Structure 1
Amino acid sequence: MCDFDEQLKKLALNAQRHPLGTVERRQLVEQLLRLLSHSDQLVHPPVPAQLQGSYEEIYNIALQRLFQYLYEKIEHYKPERAGVLQWVNYLLKIRFPDAIKELTNDQKKNQLVRENLVIKHKLERKQRENTENYPVTAQDIIDYIKQDPQDVFRLTYIGNNAEANFRFIALKLVEGYKLDELAIMLDVNHNTLRSFYNRSRRKFASEIRKNLEI
């Protein structure tokens, strides 16, 4: 256990030495979270009985929020106060209520959204309604997602599966892949993938509109 704790501590302190936005920092935080996940020592907070069937999705949301926090604020870790495992488990527990709220809100909205709706279709519909107000093309949005200038689309992914990121999923959907095919390709639950994609698409819609001045 001491060796494991020391390994976690070295990763956290090493990540602190690299500025936000660097590849090294992201890789070290990913390695830290992956090591914790594979250790089976991360906490699994309880959820209401009616949400037991959605536990995996809730946990993945909480893990994603945890990764974002660690990536942005790893400097908040103070080895003199607690071990990394204790600190991370505390952070994971306090993110569960928000993850539950996010999922339940998402489930309500999903009733009004087709599971294979992509940004390209949404923009084309707006263009038909008022071409002058929406001069940006669907290809502009696709190119923006590909470029991912802030690196946020690639860093938003399911649980600790970095391959299942929003950038990859969105671009594959534009190519014509179905969510069922992507779920198999990425080895993730279909409902988890659908929920993650719809939630992320809504989250990034305003950012894309702002940066493209739609």
Structure 2
Amino acid sequence: MEPEMDTSNELDEKLQQLAIEAQNHPPGTRQRQIALTKLVSTLQKSGQLCRPQLGRFPKEVYDDLYNETQQRVLLFVFQNINNYDPQRGKLIKWVNFMMDKRFIDVLRERSHKKIQYMPNMDELDRLCERNSLSIVKEVAQEIREYLQNDPEGKFSQVHISKNPRANFRAIALRYLEGRSWQEISNELNVGVSTLSSFYQRKLEKFAEHFREYLKDQHCL
């Protein structure tokens, strides 16, 4: 009796079979579309897609970068499956090679935005320790003072519906102090997902204000 294949081998075999099946059908045919749909779905559920530079960014920022990277790679696989050569290695290695490259591409495309996120103090400590980025703490301190002063009142005026206490200024200052989303949620009586989503949307909205302020302070 032959031993059963381990999960990894079963996955590799299934992916290769689906890739070859798709390659064997002409572009645009229903059979090719079915095989490619199964292939992409299997990749997404496999848990084997690599996560480039994990731990380098706050979770919300990383998830956004990673999701865009994954979408680009899977679309490439769907449209260019004939580029895969089964004789040169496993399909998952080919896909993960592209995940690494595309992640860097996505990161570079966004690198012109000086304020990609607002790290809290715990994240600042890790960043400075890992990358010697002392400038990051200076920037964060200037941002904190800007939020605290809120000279035009624009940060405190923007708040979650029917909850003025849960305004951007209050949320951002607490986040900068290193409080967890759950702690902020309990204090402001707002669900974690609503809180995090509101914060990220408004951070993007106010990004240009922060950039202009930091330029005036000669931090950028």
Shorter-chain TM-score category?
0.3 to 0.5
Q: What TM-score does the superposition give when structure 1 sets the normalisation length? A: 0.45
Larger Rg: 2
Considering Cα pairs closer than 8 Å and 6+ residues apart, tell me whether 1 or 2 has the greater RCO: 1
